[in-house]
Chain A
Amino acid sequence: MNKYRMILVVLLAAVLALLPMLLRRDDLINLAFMVLLYICLGQSWNMLSGFAGQTNLGHSAFFGIGALVTRWLWATLELPVMLAMILGGLAAAAFAMVIGVPTFRLRGAYFAIGMLALGEMMHAVIAQVLPFNDTLPVQLIAGYSLAMRYYVALILTIIILGFSTWLLRKPISLGLFAVREDEDAARASGVNPLYHKLFALALSSFFGGVTGGLYAYHQVSYYPQSVFGGNWTLDALLITYIGGLGTVIGPVVGSLFFVALRELFSSIFASFNLVVFGALFIVIVLAFPGGLVELLRKFQRGR
Protein backbone atom coordinates (compact mmCIF):
# COMPACT_ATOMS: atom_id res chain seq x y z
CA MET A 1 0.00 0.00 0.00
CA ASN A 2 2.71 2.42 1.06
CA LYS A 3 4.92 1.44 -1.83
CA TYR A 4 1.98 1.87 -4.14
CA ARG A 5 1.38 5.33 -2.79
CA MET A 6 5.05 6.19 -3.15
CA ILE A 7 5.01 5.26 -6.83
CA LEU A 8 1.90 7.35 -7.29
CA VAL A 9 3.54 10.37 -5.71
CA VAL A 10 6.66 10.04 -7.84
CA LEU A 11 4.55 9.64 -10.95
CA LEU A 12 2.47 12.65 -10.07
CA ALA A 13 5.57 14.73 -9.42
CA ALA A 14 7.02 13.71 -12.76
CA VAL A 15 3.84 14.55 -14.60
CA LEU A 16 3.55 17.91 -12.88
CA ALA A 17 7.18 18.73 -13.57
CA LEU A 18 6.94 17.81 -17.22
CA LEU A 19 3.44 19.16 -17.78
CA PRO A 20 4.35 22.12 -20.02
CA MET A 21 6.31 19.75 -22.27
CA LEU A 22 3.49 17.24 -22.25
CA LEU A 23 0.70 19.72 -22.91
CA ARG A 24 2.58 21.89 -25.39
CA ARG A 25 -0.45 24.10 -25.97
CA ASP A 26 -0.47 27.52 -24.33
CA ASP A 27 -4.16 27.43 -23.53
CA LEU A 28 -3.76 24.13 -21.70
CA ILE A 29 -0.68 25.27 -19.81
CA ASN A 30 -2.61 28.33 -18.86
CA LEU A 31 -5.42 26.17 -17.49
CA ALA A 32 -2.90 24.24 -15.43
CA PHE A 33 -1.59 27.55 -14.14
CA MET A 34 -5.12 28.64 -13.21
CA VAL A 35 -5.73 25.43 -11.27
CA LEU A 36 -2.55 26.06 -9.28
CA LEU A 37 -3.40 29.72 -8.72
CA TYR A 38 -6.82 28.80 -7.39
CA ILE A 39 -5.36 26.12 -5.14
CA CYS A 40 -3.09 28.75 -3.59
CA LEU A 41 -5.91 31.26 -3.35
CA GLY A 42 -8.30 28.76 -1.78
CA GLN A 43 -5.73 27.38 0.63
CA SER A 44 -4.62 30.84 1.75
CA TRP A 45 -8.25 31.74 2.50
CA ASN A 46 -8.69 28.38 4.21
CA MET A 47 -5.95 29.11 6.75
CA LEU A 48 -8.02 31.79 8.43
CA SER A 49 -11.55 30.82 7.45
CA GLY A 50 -11.22 27.06 7.56
CA PHE A 51 -8.58 26.31 10.18
CA ALA A 52 -9.52 29.12 12.56
CA GLY A 53 -13.19 29.45 11.55
CA GLN A 54 -13.12 33.20 10.84
CA THR A 55 -15.10 33.57 7.61
CA ASN A 56 -13.28 36.31 5.76
CA LEU A 57 -15.24 38.05 3.01
CA GLY A 58 -12.47 40.56 2.31
CA HIS A 59 -9.64 38.28 1.23
CA SER A 60 -9.43 40.19 -2.08
CA ALA A 61 -7.73 43.03 -0.20
CA PHE A 62 -4.74 40.80 0.62
CA PHE A 63 -4.65 39.33 -2.86
CA GLY A 64 -4.76 42.82 -4.35
CA ILE A 65 -2.08 44.31 -2.13
CA GLY A 66 0.21 41.38 -2.86
CA ALA A 67 -0.40 41.79 -6.57
CA LEU A 68 0.26 45.55 -6.64
CA VAL A 69 3.40 45.40 -4.51
CA THR A 70 4.85 42.43 -6.40
CA ARG A 71 4.14 44.05 -9.72
CA TRP A 72 5.79 47.27 -8.67
CA LEU A 73 8.91 45.64 -7.21
CA TRP A 74 9.31 43.23 -10.06
CA ALA A 75 8.28 45.22 -13.15
CA THR A 76 9.32 48.70 -12.08
CA LEU A 77 12.19 48.17 -9.63
CA GLU A 78 13.32 45.01 -11.42
CA LEU A 79 13.69 42.85 -8.34
CA PRO A 80 13.72 39.06 -8.91
CA VAL A 81 10.13 37.92 -9.11
CA MET A 82 10.31 35.41 -6.25
CA LEU A 83 11.68 38.04 -3.90
CA ALA A 84 9.04 40.50 -5.12
CA MET A 85 6.31 37.97 -4.39
CA ILE A 86 7.58 37.36 -0.87
CA LEU A 87 7.70 41.10 -0.21
CA GLY A 88 4.21 41.40 -1.68
CA GLY A 89 3.04 38.77 0.76
CA LEU A 90 4.73 40.59 3.64
CA ALA A 91 3.05 43.84 2.63
CA ALA A 92 -0.35 42.12 2.68
CA ALA A 93 0.45 40.60 6.07
CA ALA A 94 1.55 43.97 7.44
CA PHE A 95 -1.74 45.49 6.30
CA ALA A 96 -3.58 42.55 7.85
CA MET A 97 -1.87 43.07 11.20
CA VAL A 98 -2.87 46.72 11.24
CA ILE A 99 -6.53 45.97 10.59
CA GLY A 100 -6.53 42.66 12.46
CA VAL A 101 -6.68 43.96 16.00
CA PRO A 102 -9.73 46.19 15.49
CA THR A 103 -11.63 43.82 13.18
CA PHE A 104 -11.15 40.87 15.51
CA ARG A 105 -13.27 42.69 18.02
CA LEU A 106 -15.99 41.42 15.72
CA ARG A 107 -17.18 37.88 15.86
CA GLY A 108 -18.57 35.41 13.37
CA ALA A 109 -20.86 36.98 10.82
CA TYR A 110 -19.95 40.48 11.99
CA PHE A 111 -16.31 39.84 11.27
CA ALA A 112 -17.40 38.54 7.87
CA ILE A 113 -19.36 41.64 6.91
CA GLY A 114 -16.74 43.93 8.42
CA MET A 115 -14.15 42.35 6.15
CA LEU A 116 -16.59 42.52 3.24
CA ALA A 117 -16.82 46.26 3.77
CA LEU A 118 -13.07 46.54 4.07
CA GLY A 119 -12.53 44.60 0.86
CA GLU A 120 -15.05 46.73 -1.00
CA MET A 121 -13.44 49.85 0.41
CA MET A 122 -10.01 48.86 -0.86
CA HIS A 123 -11.56 48.09 -4.21
CA ALA A 124 -13.18 51.51 -4.37
CA VAL A 125 -10.03 53.31 -3.24
CA ILE A 126 -7.79 51.59 -5.79
CA ALA A 127 -10.33 52.17 -8.56
CA GLN A 128 -10.07 55.88 -7.80
CA VAL A 129 -6.35 56.14 -7.17
CA LEU A 130 -5.06 53.83 -9.91
CA PRO A 131 -7.63 54.01 -12.69
CA PHE A 132 -5.19 53.18 -15.53
CA ASN A 133 -4.37 49.94 -17.22
CA ASP A 134 -1.04 48.53 -16.06
CA THR A 135 0.96 46.85 -18.84
CA LEU A 136 4.35 45.20 -18.46
CA PRO A 137 7.40 46.99 -19.86
CA VAL A 138 8.39 45.90 -23.37
CA GLN A 139 11.49 43.95 -22.36
CA LEU A 140 9.46 41.85 -19.90
CA ILE A 141 6.82 41.13 -22.51
CA ALA A 142 9.52 40.09 -24.94
CA GLY A 143 10.88 37.53 -22.54
CA TYR A 144 7.45 36.27 -21.42
CA SER A 145 7.34 32.51 -20.89
CA LEU A 146 4.13 30.83 -19.81
CA ALA A 147 5.99 27.70 -18.74
CA MET A 148 8.01 29.85 -16.35
CA ARG A 149 4.75 31.10 -14.78
CA TYR A 150 3.59 27.55 -14.47
CA TYR A 151 6.72 26.49 -12.60
CA VAL A 152 6.57 29.40 -10.21
CA ALA A 153 2.93 28.54 -9.53
CA LEU A 154 3.86 24.91 -8.99
CA ILE A 155 6.55 25.83 -6.48
CA LEU A 156 4.20 28.11 -4.62
CA THR A 157 1.49 25.46 -4.55
CA ILE A 158 3.88 22.89 -3.15
CA ILE A 159 5.05 25.34 -0.50
CA ILE A 160 1.53 26.30 0.55
CA LEU A 161 0.21 22.75 0.66
CA GLY A 162 3.34 21.46 2.37
CA PHE A 163 3.21 24.25 4.91
CA SER A 164 -0.47 23.63 5.63
CA THR A 165 0.13 19.92 6.14
CA TRP A 166 2.99 20.69 8.49
CA LEU A 167 0.94 23.31 10.33
CA LEU A 168 -1.89 20.90 10.98
CA ARG A 169 0.56 18.55 12.73
CA LYS A 170 1.73 21.28 15.11
CA PRO A 171 0.12 21.87 18.50
CA ILE A 172 -0.92 25.39 17.51
CA SER A 173 -3.44 23.94 15.08
CA LEU A 174 -5.32 22.53 18.06
CA GLY A 175 -5.61 26.07 19.39
CA LEU A 176 -6.93 27.20 16.03
CA PHE A 177 -9.54 24.45 16.01
CA ALA A 178 -10.55 25.29 19.57
CA VAL A 179 -11.16 28.91 18.55
CA ARG A 180 -13.11 27.74 15.52
CA GLU A 181 -15.38 25.48 17.56
CA ASP A 182 -16.13 27.83 20.43
CA GLU A 183 -14.20 30.95 21.26
CA ASP A 184 -15.43 31.25 24.83
CA ALA A 185 -14.74 27.63 25.61
CA ALA A 186 -11.28 28.04 24.07
CA ARG A 187 -10.57 31.03 26.28
CA ALA A 188 -11.82 29.15 29.32
CA SER A 189 -9.39 26.33 28.62
CA GLY A 190 -6.44 28.69 28.39
CA VAL A 191 -6.25 29.34 24.64
CA ASN A 192 -5.81 32.99 23.72
CA PRO A 193 -8.30 33.52 20.88
CA LEU A 194 -6.93 36.87 19.68
CA TYR A 195 -3.41 35.52 19.42
CA HIS A 196 -4.53 32.47 17.48
CA LYS A 197 -6.74 34.47 15.18
CA LEU A 198 -3.97 36.95 14.45
CA PHE A 199 -1.60 34.08 13.75
CA ALA A 200 -4.03 32.55 11.25
CA LEU A 201 -4.71 35.97 9.74
CA ALA A 202 -0.99 36.60 9.29
CA LEU A 203 -0.50 33.32 7.44
CA SER A 204 -3.66 33.72 5.40
CA SER A 205 -2.86 37.27 4.34
CA PHE A 206 0.78 36.47 3.61
CA PHE A 207 -0.02 33.55 1.33
CA GLY A 208 -2.99 35.43 -0.11
CA GLY A 209 -0.63 38.28 -0.96
CA VAL A 210 1.94 35.95 -2.49
CA THR A 211 -0.82 34.40 -4.59
CA GLY A 212 -1.80 37.88 -5.72
CA GLY A 213 1.86 38.36 -6.66
CA LEU A 214 1.72 35.19 -8.71
CA TYR A 215 -1.26 36.58 -10.57
CA ALA A 216 0.51 39.89 -11.16
CA TYR A 217 3.47 37.95 -12.51
CA HIS A 218 1.17 36.09 -14.90
CA GLN A 219 -0.83 39.01 -16.31
CA VAL A 220 0.65 40.97 -19.20
CA SER A 221 -1.70 43.80 -18.50
CA TYR A 222 -4.52 44.41 -16.05
CA TYR A 223 -6.43 47.12 -14.27
CA PRO A 224 -5.11 47.44 -10.69
CA GLN A 225 -8.67 47.53 -9.37
CA SER A 226 -9.36 44.11 -10.88
CA VAL A 227 -7.09 42.37 -8.37
CA PHE A 228 -9.18 43.88 -5.58
CA GLY A 229 -12.44 42.56 -7.05
CA GLY A 230 -14.78 40.68 -4.75
CA ASN A 231 -14.61 37.75 -7.16
CA TRP A 232 -11.25 36.72 -5.65
CA THR A 233 -12.85 36.33 -2.25
CA LEU A 234 -15.84 34.61 -3.72
CA ASP A 235 -13.75 32.14 -5.72
CA ALA A 236 -11.64 31.31 -2.69
CA LEU A 237 -14.76 30.71 -0.64
CA LEU A 238 -16.47 28.56 -3.26
CA ILE A 239 -13.38 26.49 -3.96
CA THR A 240 -12.68 25.83 -0.32
CA TYR A 241 -16.24 25.08 0.74
CA ILE A 242 -16.95 22.88 -2.24
CA GLY A 243 -13.70 21.00 -1.86
CA GLY A 244 -13.77 20.74 1.90
CA LEU A 245 -13.43 23.54 4.44
CA GLY A 246 -10.56 23.24 6.87
CA THR A 247 -8.72 20.47 5.02
CA VAL A 248 -5.52 20.64 2.98
CA ILE A 249 -6.84 18.59 0.11
CA GLY A 250 -10.17 20.47 -0.07
CA PRO A 251 -8.95 23.49 -2.05
CA VAL A 252 -7.11 21.17 -4.43
CA VAL A 253 -10.25 19.20 -5.24
CA GLY A 254 -12.34 22.38 -5.29
CA SER A 255 -9.97 24.16 -7.61
CA LEU A 256 -9.76 21.29 -10.12
CA PHE A 257 -13.53 21.09 -10.08
CA PHE A 258 -13.88 24.86 -10.39
CA VAL A 259 -11.60 25.27 -13.40
CA ALA A 260 -12.90 22.13 -15.11
CA LEU A 261 -16.51 23.21 -14.73
CA ARG A 262 -15.72 26.70 -15.92
CA GLU A 263 -14.10 25.34 -19.09
CA LEU A 264 -16.86 22.85 -19.65
CA PHE A 265 -19.66 25.35 -19.48
CA SER A 266 -18.09 28.47 -20.88
CA SER A 267 -18.91 27.52 -24.47
CA ILE A 268 -22.60 26.89 -23.76
CA PHE A 269 -23.60 29.46 -21.23
CA ALA A 270 -21.14 32.11 -20.19
CA SER A 271 -21.69 32.13 -16.45
CA PHE A 272 -23.50 28.85 -16.06
CA ASN A 273 -20.61 27.52 -14.02
CA LEU A 274 -21.42 30.17 -11.42
CA VAL A 275 -25.03 29.04 -11.26
CA VAL A 276 -23.89 25.46 -10.73
CA PHE A 277 -21.29 26.57 -8.23
CA GLY A 278 -23.70 28.76 -6.32
CA ALA A 279 -26.23 25.95 -6.09
CA LEU A 280 -23.60 23.40 -5.11
CA PHE A 281 -22.26 25.80 -2.51
CA ILE A 282 -25.70 26.26 -0.94
CA VAL A 283 -26.28 22.53 -0.82
CA ILE A 284 -22.89 21.99 0.76
CA VAL A 285 -23.37 24.66 3.40
CA LEU A 286 -26.82 23.35 4.29
CA ALA A 287 -26.37 19.62 4.00
CA PHE A 288 -22.74 18.53 3.58
CA PRO A 289 -20.49 20.87 5.54
CA GLY A 290 -17.55 18.56 4.79
CA GLY A 291 -17.59 19.31 1.06
CA LEU A 292 -16.65 17.00 -1.81
CA VAL A 293 -13.73 15.49 0.10
CA GLU A 294 -16.04 14.29 2.84
CA LEU A 295 -18.57 13.04 0.32
CA LEU A 296 -15.92 11.05 -1.52
CA ARG A 297 -14.71 9.55 1.74
CA LYS A 298 -18.23 8.56 2.70
CA PHE A 299 -18.71 7.04 -0.71
CA GLN A 300 -15.51 5.03 -0.35
CA ARG A 301 -16.46 3.81 3.08
CA GLY A 302 -19.94 2.98 1.87
CA ARG A 303 -18.58 0.59 -0.74
Chain B
Amino acid sequence: MNFETLLQTLVFGFFVGSLYGVAAIGLSLVFGVMKILNVAHGELMMLAGYVSYFVFSLFGIDPFVSILISIPVLFCVGLLLDRLVYRRIHLLTGEAKIKNSLLVSFGLSLILQALAIQFFTADERAIQASYSGYSLTLGGIILPYTRLISLFIIFGVISLLHWFLQRTITGKAIRAAAEDAEAANLAGINIQRFYMLTLALSAALSGLAGSLVIIGYGITPTVGVVWLLRGLIVVVLAGTGSIFGTFSAGILLGLVEAISSTLFGAASREIVGLVMFLVVLVLRPQGLFGKKG
Protein backbone atom coordinates (compact mmCIF):
# COMPACT_ATOMS: atom_id res chain seq x y z
CA MET B 1 0.00 0.00 0.00
CA ASN B 2 1.57 3.24 -1.09
CA PHE B 3 0.79 6.73 -0.02
CA GLU B 4 -1.01 7.63 -3.20
CA THR B 5 -3.50 4.78 -2.94
CA LEU B 6 -4.20 5.72 0.65
CA LEU B 7 -4.80 9.33 -0.32
CA GLN B 8 -7.07 8.23 -3.13
CA THR B 9 -9.09 6.08 -0.73
CA LEU B 10 -9.39 8.98 1.67
CA VAL B 11 -10.57 11.27 -1.10
CA PHE B 12 -13.34 8.86 -2.00
CA GLY B 13 -14.16 8.51 1.68
CA PHE B 14 -14.48 12.26 1.85
CA PHE B 15 -16.88 12.34 -1.09
CA VAL B 16 -19.15 9.65 0.25
CA GLY B 17 -18.91 11.15 3.73
CA SER B 18 -20.28 14.43 2.45
CA LEU B 19 -23.41 12.52 1.43
CA TYR B 20 -23.63 10.87 4.83
CA GLY B 21 -23.50 14.39 6.21
CA VAL B 22 -26.43 15.55 4.09
CA ALA B 23 -28.47 12.49 5.01
CA ALA B 24 -27.71 13.11 8.68
CA ILE B 25 -28.57 16.81 8.58
CA GLY B 26 -32.04 15.93 7.32
CA LEU B 27 -32.53 13.39 10.08
CA SER B 28 -31.20 15.61 12.81
CA LEU B 29 -33.30 18.58 11.73
CA VAL B 30 -36.48 16.61 12.23
CA PHE B 31 -35.23 15.01 15.42
CA GLY B 32 -33.89 18.22 16.88
CA VAL B 33 -36.98 20.29 16.15
CA MET B 34 -39.85 17.83 16.34
CA LYS B 35 -38.36 15.01 18.46
CA ILE B 36 -39.42 12.68 15.68
CA LEU B 37 -37.13 9.88 14.61
CA ASN B 38 -37.90 9.51 10.93
CA VAL B 39 -36.52 6.15 9.84
CA ALA B 40 -38.21 6.61 6.48
CA HIS B 41 -35.59 9.22 5.64
CA GLY B 42 -33.62 6.69 3.60
CA GLU B 43 -36.71 5.84 1.59
CA LEU B 44 -37.26 9.51 0.84
CA MET B 45 -33.72 9.59 -0.55
CA MET B 46 -34.54 6.52 -2.58
CA LEU B 47 -37.60 8.24 -4.04
CA ALA B 48 -35.56 11.28 -4.95
CA GLY B 49 -33.05 9.05 -6.69
CA TYR B 50 -35.82 7.63 -8.85
CA VAL B 51 -37.13 11.10 -9.61
CA SER B 52 -33.72 12.02 -10.99
CA TYR B 53 -33.43 8.71 -12.77
CA PHE B 54 -36.72 9.07 -14.57
CA VAL B 55 -36.39 12.69 -15.58
CA PHE B 56 -32.98 11.74 -16.97
CA SER B 57 -34.04 8.63 -18.83
CA LEU B 58 -37.39 9.94 -20.05
CA PHE B 59 -36.63 13.58 -20.78
CA GLY B 60 -32.88 13.58 -20.90
CA ILE B 61 -32.63 16.18 -18.14
CA ASP B 62 -29.13 16.45 -16.77
CA PRO B 63 -28.90 14.73 -13.35
CA PHE B 64 -27.53 17.82 -11.62
CA VAL B 65 -30.31 19.92 -13.09
CA SER B 66 -32.82 17.32 -11.95
CA ILE B 67 -32.07 18.34 -8.36
CA LEU B 68 -34.19 21.37 -9.12
CA ILE B 69 -37.04 18.95 -9.63
CA SER B 70 -36.34 16.37 -6.93
CA ILE B 71 -35.97 18.94 -4.15
CA PRO B 72 -39.39 20.55 -4.65
CA VAL B 73 -41.01 17.16 -5.27
CA LEU B 74 -39.65 15.81 -2.00
CA PHE B 75 -40.55 19.05 -0.23
CA CYS B 76 -44.15 18.42 -1.21
CA VAL B 77 -43.91 14.77 -0.21
CA GLY B 78 -42.74 16.02 3.18
CA LEU B 79 -45.71 18.37 3.51
CA LEU B 80 -48.03 15.54 2.58
CA LEU B 81 -46.47 13.08 5.01
CA ASP B 82 -46.74 15.58 7.83
CA ARG B 83 -50.38 16.17 7.02
CA LEU B 84 -51.28 12.50 6.70
CA VAL B 85 -49.09 10.82 9.26
CA TYR B 86 -46.69 12.78 11.43
CA ARG B 87 -49.17 15.40 12.54
CA ARG B 88 -50.91 12.74 14.54
CA ILE B 89 -47.76 12.17 16.55
CA HIS B 90 -47.25 15.82 17.49
CA LEU B 91 -49.76 15.47 20.30
CA LEU B 92 -47.59 12.96 22.11
CA THR B 93 -44.66 13.92 24.29
CA GLY B 94 -41.32 12.55 25.40
CA GLU B 95 -40.48 8.87 25.05
CA ALA B 96 -43.86 7.92 23.64
CA LYS B 97 -43.47 10.43 20.85
CA ILE B 98 -40.03 9.22 19.81
CA LYS B 99 -41.06 5.59 19.94
CA ASN B 100 -44.27 6.04 18.01
CA SER B 101 -42.55 8.18 15.41
CA LEU B 102 -40.02 5.41 15.01
CA LEU B 103 -42.73 2.78 14.54
CA VAL B 104 -44.86 4.84 12.23
CA SER B 105 -41.98 5.82 9.99
CA PHE B 106 -40.90 2.18 9.99
CA GLY B 107 -44.30 1.33 8.53
CA LEU B 108 -43.96 4.16 6.08
CA SER B 109 -40.57 2.98 4.88
CA LEU B 110 -42.05 -0.46 4.32
CA ILE B 111 -44.82 0.98 2.15
CA LEU B 112 -42.44 3.15 0.14
CA GLN B 113 -40.10 0.21 -0.44
CA ALA B 114 -42.89 -2.09 -1.56
CA LEU B 115 -44.28 0.52 -3.93
CA ALA B 116 -40.82 1.16 -5.36
CA ILE B 117 -40.25 -2.53 -5.97
CA GLN B 118 -43.58 -2.77 -7.73
CA PHE B 119 -43.28 0.29 -9.92
CA PHE B 120 -39.54 0.68 -10.40
CA THR B 121 -38.52 -3.03 -10.18
CA ALA B 122 -35.79 -4.29 -7.90
CA ASP B 123 -33.01 -3.58 -10.42
CA GLU B 124 -30.24 -1.23 -9.47
CA ARG B 125 -30.39 2.10 -11.30
CA ALA B 126 -27.65 4.60 -11.90
CA ILE B 127 -27.22 7.56 -14.18
CA GLN B 128 -24.50 7.71 -16.76
CA ALA B 129 -24.19 11.30 -17.91
CA SER B 130 -22.00 12.22 -20.87
CA TYR B 131 -19.32 13.54 -18.52
CA SER B 132 -19.58 10.69 -15.99
CA GLY B 133 -16.32 9.04 -16.89
CA TYR B 134 -14.19 12.18 -16.77
CA SER B 135 -12.15 13.37 -13.90
CA LEU B 136 -9.57 15.80 -12.77
CA THR B 137 -6.19 14.35 -11.88
CA LEU B 138 -4.25 16.19 -9.23
CA GLY B 139 -0.84 14.84 -8.34
CA GLY B 140 -1.94 11.33 -9.25
CA ILE B 141 -5.20 11.60 -7.29
CA ILE B 142 -8.36 11.12 -9.32
CA LEU B 143 -11.19 13.55 -8.67
CA PRO B 144 -14.23 12.64 -10.79
CA TYR B 145 -16.12 15.67 -12.02
CA THR B 146 -19.44 14.32 -10.84
CA ARG B 147 -18.16 14.03 -7.27
CA LEU B 148 -16.63 17.50 -7.37
CA ILE B 149 -19.84 19.07 -8.61
CA SER B 150 -21.79 17.15 -5.97
CA LEU B 151 -19.52 18.41 -3.23
CA PHE B 152 -19.83 21.95 -4.52
CA ILE B 153 -23.63 21.73 -4.52
CA ILE B 154 -23.65 20.22 -1.04
CA PHE B 155 -21.55 23.04 0.35
CA GLY B 156 -23.83 25.54 -1.32
CA VAL B 157 -27.01 24.00 0.02
CA ILE B 158 -25.91 23.52 3.59
CA SER B 159 -24.49 27.02 3.74
CA LEU B 160 -27.83 28.26 2.51
CA LEU B 161 -29.61 26.17 5.13
CA HIS B 162 -27.29 27.50 7.81
CA TRP B 163 -28.01 31.05 6.75
CA PHE B 164 -31.73 30.33 6.65
CA LEU B 165 -31.82 28.90 10.18
CA GLN B 166 -29.53 31.50 11.71
CA ARG B 167 -30.54 34.70 9.99
CA THR B 168 -34.15 34.62 8.78
CA ILE B 169 -37.11 35.04 11.11
CA THR B 170 -38.62 31.80 9.80
CA GLY B 171 -35.41 29.96 10.58
CA LYS B 172 -35.29 31.49 14.03
CA ALA B 173 -38.87 30.40 14.61
CA ILE B 174 -37.87 26.85 13.73
CA ARG B 175 -34.99 27.01 16.18
CA ALA B 176 -37.28 28.47 18.82
CA ALA B 177 -39.77 25.64 18.31
CA ALA B 178 -36.90 23.19 18.66
CA GLU B 179 -35.72 24.71 21.90
CA ASP B 180 -39.05 25.13 23.63
CA ALA B 181 -42.21 24.50 21.66
CA GLU B 182 -44.52 25.99 24.29
CA ALA B 183 -42.48 29.13 24.66
CA ALA B 184 -42.43 29.50 20.89
CA ASN B 185 -46.17 29.06 20.83
CA LEU B 186 -46.48 31.82 23.46
CA ALA B 187 -44.36 34.07 21.28
CA GLY B 188 -47.00 33.72 18.56
CA ILE B 189 -45.45 30.92 16.54
CA ASN B 190 -47.83 28.36 15.06
CA ILE B 191 -45.99 25.21 16.07
CA GLN B 192 -47.82 22.85 13.74
CA ARG B 193 -47.07 24.96 10.73
CA PHE B 194 -43.39 25.13 11.56
CA TYR B 195 -43.23 21.43 12.26
CA MET B 196 -44.71 20.86 8.84
CA LEU B 197 -42.15 23.16 7.29
CA THR B 198 -39.35 21.39 9.13
CA LEU B 199 -40.42 17.98 7.91
CA ALA B 200 -40.70 19.33 4.38
CA LEU B 201 -37.24 20.87 4.60
CA SER B 202 -35.82 17.61 5.82
CA ALA B 203 -37.52 15.79 2.98
CA ALA B 204 -36.15 18.37 0.56
CA LEU B 205 -32.66 17.65 1.88
CA SER B 206 -33.26 13.96 1.29
CA GLY B 207 -34.23 15.03 -2.23
CA LEU B 208 -30.82 16.57 -2.72
CA ALA B 209 -29.06 13.61 -1.15
CA GLY B 210 -30.99 11.03 -3.14
CA SER B 211 -30.32 12.71 -6.46
CA LEU B 212 -26.63 12.93 -5.68
CA VAL B 213 -26.58 9.29 -4.62
CA ILE B 214 -27.94 8.11 -7.93
CA ILE B 215 -25.40 10.21 -9.81
CA GLY B 216 -22.40 8.96 -7.89
CA TYR B 217 -23.48 5.52 -6.75
CA GLY B 218 -26.77 3.83 -7.50
CA ILE B 219 -30.25 3.21 -6.19
CA THR B 220 -32.40 0.17 -5.49
CA PRO B 221 -35.78 0.12 -3.73
CA THR B 222 -34.14 -1.25 -0.61
CA VAL B 223 -31.16 1.10 -0.49
CA GLY B 224 -32.86 3.31 2.10
CA VAL B 225 -31.72 1.43 5.19
CA VAL B 226 -28.07 1.72 4.18
CA TRP B 227 -28.27 5.51 4.08
CA LEU B 228 -30.54 5.69 7.08
CA LEU B 229 -28.07 3.79 9.23
CA ARG B 230 -25.21 5.99 8.07
CA GLY B 231 -27.31 9.03 8.88
CA LEU B 232 -28.20 7.69 12.33
CA ILE B 233 -24.57 6.91 13.09
CA VAL B 234 -23.60 10.44 12.18
CA VAL B 235 -26.39 11.99 14.23
CA VAL B 236 -25.40 9.92 17.22
CA LEU B 237 -21.79 11.00 16.80
CA ALA B 238 -22.52 14.68 16.31
CA GLY B 239 -25.72 15.43 18.19
CA THR B 240 -28.31 17.77 16.77
CA GLY B 241 -26.69 21.06 17.67
CA SER B 242 -25.09 22.39 14.54
CA ILE B 243 -25.34 21.80 10.83
CA PHE B 244 -21.64 22.00 10.18
CA GLY B 245 -20.92 19.77 13.15
CA THR B 246 -23.21 17.12 11.72
CA PHE B 247 -21.70 17.56 8.29
CA SER B 248 -18.17 17.14 9.64
CA ALA B 249 -19.21 13.99 11.46
CA GLY B 250 -20.53 12.67 8.14
CA ILE B 251 -17.16 13.29 6.53
CA LEU B 252 -15.47 11.66 9.50
CA LEU B 253 -17.55 8.53 9.05
CA GLY B 254 -16.70 8.46 5.35
CA LEU B 255 -13.00 8.72 6.15
CA VAL B 256 -13.11 6.11 8.90
CA GLU B 257 -14.88 3.70 6.57
CA ALA B 258 -12.28 4.33 3.90
CA ILE B 259 -9.38 3.79 6.26
CA SER B 260 -10.94 0.69 7.73
CA SER B 261 -11.57 -0.82 4.31
CA THR B 262 -7.92 -0.33 3.35
CA LEU B 263 -6.68 -1.75 6.63
CA PHE B 264 -9.10 -4.62 7.19
CA GLY B 265 -10.56 -5.22 3.75
CA ALA B 266 -13.64 -3.91 2.01
CA ALA B 267 -15.93 -6.02 4.20
CA SER B 268 -15.19 -3.99 7.30
CA ARG B 269 -16.64 -0.88 5.70
CA GLU B 270 -20.16 -2.09 6.48
CA ILE B 271 -19.34 -2.82 10.06
CA VAL B 272 -17.01 -0.14 11.36
CA GLY B 273 -19.69 2.55 11.48
CA LEU B 274 -22.11 0.28 13.28
CA VAL B 275 -19.47 -0.57 15.84
CA MET B 276 -18.81 3.12 16.44
CA PHE B 277 -22.54 3.66 16.66
CA LEU B 278 -23.06 1.00 19.31
CA VAL B 279 -20.07 2.12 21.31
CA VAL B 280 -21.22 5.73 21.36
CA LEU B 281 -24.80 4.72 22.11
CA VAL B 282 -23.78 2.61 25.03
CA LEU B 283 -21.17 5.01 26.38
CA ARG B 284 -23.48 7.99 26.54
CA PRO B 285 -27.07 6.82 26.48
CA GLN B 286 -28.32 10.03 28.09
CA GLY B 287 -26.33 12.49 26.04
CA LEU B 288 -27.56 10.85 22.89
CA PHE B 289 -28.62 13.34 20.24
CA GLY B 290 -27.91 15.97 22.84
CA LYS B 291 -26.38 19.30 22.08
CA LYS B 292 -23.27 18.53 24.03
CA GLY B 293 -21.62 15.30 25.12
Establish whether A and B are touching in the complex (CB under 8 Å).
Answer: yes
Q: Mask for A247-281, Cβ within 8 A of B = 1, else 0?
A: 00000000000000000000001111011011101
Give the shortest distance, in Å, between B148 (CB) and chain A (any CB): 30
Give the shortest distance, in Å, between A264 (CB) and chain B (any CB): 15
B118 touches A270 (CB 8 A): yes
Chain A residues contacting B100 (CB-CB under 8 Å) are 285-286
User: Of A68-76, A99-107, A192-200, which binds chain B?
Assistant: A99-107
Chain B residues contacting A120 (CB-CB under 8 Å) are 225, 229, 274
User: Of B2-10, B204-212, B276-284, which binds chain A?
Assistant: B276-284
Q: Is B88 an interface residue (CB 8 A)?
A: yes
A114-B281, A117-B278, A124-B274 given; name 11 further pairs at CB < 8 Å: A55-B102, A105-B285, A108-B95, A112-B99, A121-B274, A234-B106, A241-B103, A274-B111, A278-B114, A281-B103, A281-B106
Chain A residues contacting B111 (CB-CB under 8 Å) are 274-275, 278-279
Q: Is A110 an interface residue (CB 8 A)?
A: yes
Q: Is B142 an interface residue (CB 8 A)?
A: no
Q: Which residue of A lies closest to B103 (CB)?
A: A285
Q: Which residue of A lies closest to B271 (CB)?
A: A124
A121 touches B271 (CB 8 A): yes
Q: Which residue of B lies closest to A269 (CB)?
A: B118
20 A–B pairs (Cβ distance < 8 Å), ordered by A: A55-B102, A57-B106, A102-B282, A109-B98, A110-B288, A113-B281, A117-B277, A117-B281, A121-B275, A128-B267, A230-B225, A238-B110, A270-B117, A271-B114, A274-B113, A278-B114, A279-B111, A282-B104, A285-B100, A286-B89
Q: Is B85 an interface residue (CB 8 A)?
A: yes
Q: How many B residues have CB within 8 A of the partner chain?
A: 38
| Cβ contact of B278, chosen from A107, A121, A285, cutoff 8 A | A121
B95 touches A285 (CB 8 A): no
Q: How many A-B residue pairs have CB under 8 A?
A: 112
Q: Is A118 an interface residue (CB 8 A)?
A: yes
The 6 closest A-B CB pairs, nearest first, are A278-B111, A274-B114, A124-B270, A271-B114, A128-B267, A278-B110
A285 touches B37 (CB 8 A): no
Report how far A119 CA is from B110 CA in the complex, Å.
17
Q: Is B156 an interface residue (CB 8 A)?
A: no
Give the shortest distance, in Å, between A67 (CB) and chain B (any CB): 20
**Contact of A275 with B107 at beta-carbon distance under 8 Å, contacts A120-B229, A121-B278, A125-B271 already known:** no
**Contact of A285 with B282 at beta-carbon distance under 8 Å, contacts A109-B95, A112-B99, A274-B114 already known:** no
Report how far A128 CA is from B269 CA in the complex, Å.
11
